[in-house]
């Protein structure tokens, strides 16, 4: 329950006071007025604290947001992915002098992705408004005008022609500007691939407690989306830093600390884009004369259709030899010289998300609801079994042999040995492990540093 200050009634009486007392009262009043004015200038303040950093404090005078001594605040992040648009509504609580904690998350997703409206921009507004209504229902009215609203688009829009992508973003911005939430000029943007990886790293390390406890070992992050894939971790070996190619290292400021991360996003190596490349297709280009895309990763005699990025492809399998061996050879061609390998990943604990999780669950390597741990070699074992089965009988998913083989070889290209343990989960402490939480943290922290550069 929010506390509402009772200011009472101001009564003035003509009384004579000693000069020293008057001077003391004057200084006290000036201090209070200065302090309140400073508190209302910024949405968040950052200051050192015993636990590392005090972050996320809102001005009580504008919100009345103190609950049992804790500051309560919200953030809204839209994830415009290649296959759907999702809204995350986060509620935070910050005890005095401590880092914030996430107390609640509301999540809702709509299909298709924003990029599906590239040729009919007006239709995109309906879904955005529907997700905004979810935020209105979850956030108390008094908090609307101070709750930041942000949309980050990922690979789906990065793969669109620039003009089409910008028209979509402009339409979303119009809808956002008409909303009652806090909307900045940069509220809508296409997310840099590296930022996507870094934001996911922030999320998982925040939820596992690594960011709250200085000196605690951090964990690495693997994300496999539809259009791109990311790897991010905090190197501890100097050789990793020295051997990293240009663009693979990035500095992150968070909770008054600076992290030098290894992070890279591979556009075109997300699972759906990789499927197209393995089939021999080209992103955004229909096949001439309606010919089939033929692949050794599909079961012999298979014929069907597959839609990707609003284009429908006719696909078919080949009749020849071992399905797994032929598929692995084709996948290796697609991945050749495209992924940088680092030896240090063998010694870092990693969480893997998105299609890593979905594929592992679909073939029984982990529990579909709870997730679990596996070793990299489990993907290869599953791939060999499924591919062998497809040689003689159909499967509910014609791509399962291809997808498992691709994940197996992608992880090996990153440098993961077959006995490397990976943790696969959708949630940590009942919070979605997407990049959205990290992105809203980073966004708000950046706003604060702009307003308070001295901190």
E strands, 309-349, where?
311-317
Residue with tokens 């829009």: 157
Question: Integer distance in angstroms from the first to the last C-alpha of the chain?
Answer: 32
The question of whether 196 is a catalytic residue gets the answer: yes
Phi, psi for 248 (deg, rounded to 5)? -100, -5
Tokens of residue 52, six digits: 């590392």
Which of the following is catalytic: 122, 130, 174, 196?
196
Q: Which of 66, 294, 76 is nearest to 181 (CA)?
A: 76
What's the DSSP call for residue 77? Answer: E
Q: Is 91 annotated as a binding residue?
A: no
Question: Residue 304 annotated as binding?
Answer: no
Q: How far apart are CA 255 and CA 54, in angstroms?
A: 7
226 assigned ligand-binding residue: yes
Instruction: Consult the annotation and say whether 51 binds a ligand.
Output: no
Structure tokens at 109: 């997703």
Q: How many helices (H) and strands (E) does the chain have?
A: 13, 20
Residue 112: is the preceding peptide bond cis (ω within 30°)? yes
What angle separates helix 376-390 from helix 400-414, to the nearest 10 degrees? 150
3-state secondary structure of 107: strand
**Residue 227 annotated in ligand binding:** yes
DSSP state string for 198-266: HHHHHHHHHHTTTTTSTTPPP-EEEEE-SSEEEEEE----HHHHHHPPTTSEEEEEETTEEEEEEEEEE
Rounded Cα gap, residues 395 and 387, in angstroms: 10
**Residue 273 corresponds to which tokens in the numbers above?**
């884009």
Task: Supply the residues annotated as catalytic.
Answer: 196
Q: Which residues does the annotation place in the binding site? A: 226-230
Q: Which residues does the annotation place in the binding site for ATP? A: 226-230
């Amino acid at each position: 329950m929010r506390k509402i200050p009772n200011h009472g009634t101001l009564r003035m009486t003509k009384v004579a006071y000693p000069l020293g007392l008057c001077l003391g009262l004057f200084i006290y009043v000036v201090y209070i007025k200065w302090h309140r004015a400073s508190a209302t200038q910024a949405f968040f303040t950052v200051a050192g604290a015993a636990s590392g950093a005090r972050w996320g404090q809102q001005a009580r005078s504008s919100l009345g947001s103190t609950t049992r001594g804790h500051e309560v605040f919200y953030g809204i992040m839209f994830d415009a992915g290649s296959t759907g648009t999702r809204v995350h509504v986060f509620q935070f609580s910050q005890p005095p002098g401590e880092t914030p904690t996430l107390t609640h998350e509301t999540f809702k997703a709509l299909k298709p992705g924003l990029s599906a409206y590239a040729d009919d921009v007006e239709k995109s507004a309906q879904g955005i408004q529907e997700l905004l209504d979810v935020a209105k229902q979850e956030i108390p009215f008094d908090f609307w005008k101070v709750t930041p609203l942000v949309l980050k688009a990922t690979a789906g829009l990065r793969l669109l022609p620039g003009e089409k992508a910008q028209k979509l973003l402009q339409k979303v911005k119009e809808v956002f500007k008409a909303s009652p939430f806090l909307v900045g000029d940069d509220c809508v943007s296409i997310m840099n691939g590296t930022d996507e990886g870094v934001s996911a790293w922030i999320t998982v390390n925040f939820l596992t407690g690594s960011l709250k406890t200085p000196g605690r070992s951090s964990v690495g992050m693997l994300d496999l989306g539809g259009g791109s894939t990311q790897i991010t971790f905090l190197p501890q070996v100097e050789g990793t830093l020295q051997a990293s190619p240009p663009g693979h290292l990035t500095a992150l400021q968070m909770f008054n600390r600076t992290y030098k991360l290894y992070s890279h996003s591979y556009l075109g190596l997300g699972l759906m884009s990789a499927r197209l490349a393995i089939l021999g297709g080209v992103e955004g280009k229909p096949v001439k004369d309606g010919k089939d895309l033929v692949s050794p990763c599909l079961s012999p005699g298979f014929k069907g259709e597959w839609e990707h990025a609003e284009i429908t492809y006719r696909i078919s399998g080949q009749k020849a030899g071992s399905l797994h061996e032929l598929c692995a050879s084709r996948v290796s061609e697609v991945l050749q010289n495209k992924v940088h390998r680092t030896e240090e990943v063998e010694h870092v604990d990693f969480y893997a998300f998105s299609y890593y999780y979905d594929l592992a669950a679909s073939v029984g390597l982990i529990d579909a609801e709870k997730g679990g741990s596996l070793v990299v070699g489990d993907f290869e074992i599953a791939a060999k079994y499924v591919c062998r089965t497809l040689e003689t009988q159909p499967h509910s998913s014609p791509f399962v042999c291809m997808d498992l083989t691709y994940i197996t070889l992608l992880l090996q290209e990153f440098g993961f040995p077959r006995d490397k343990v990976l943790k696969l989960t959708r949630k940590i402490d009942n919070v979605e492990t997407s990049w959205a939480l990290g992105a809203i943290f980073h966004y708000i922290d950046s706003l604060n540093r702009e307003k308070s550069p001295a901190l």
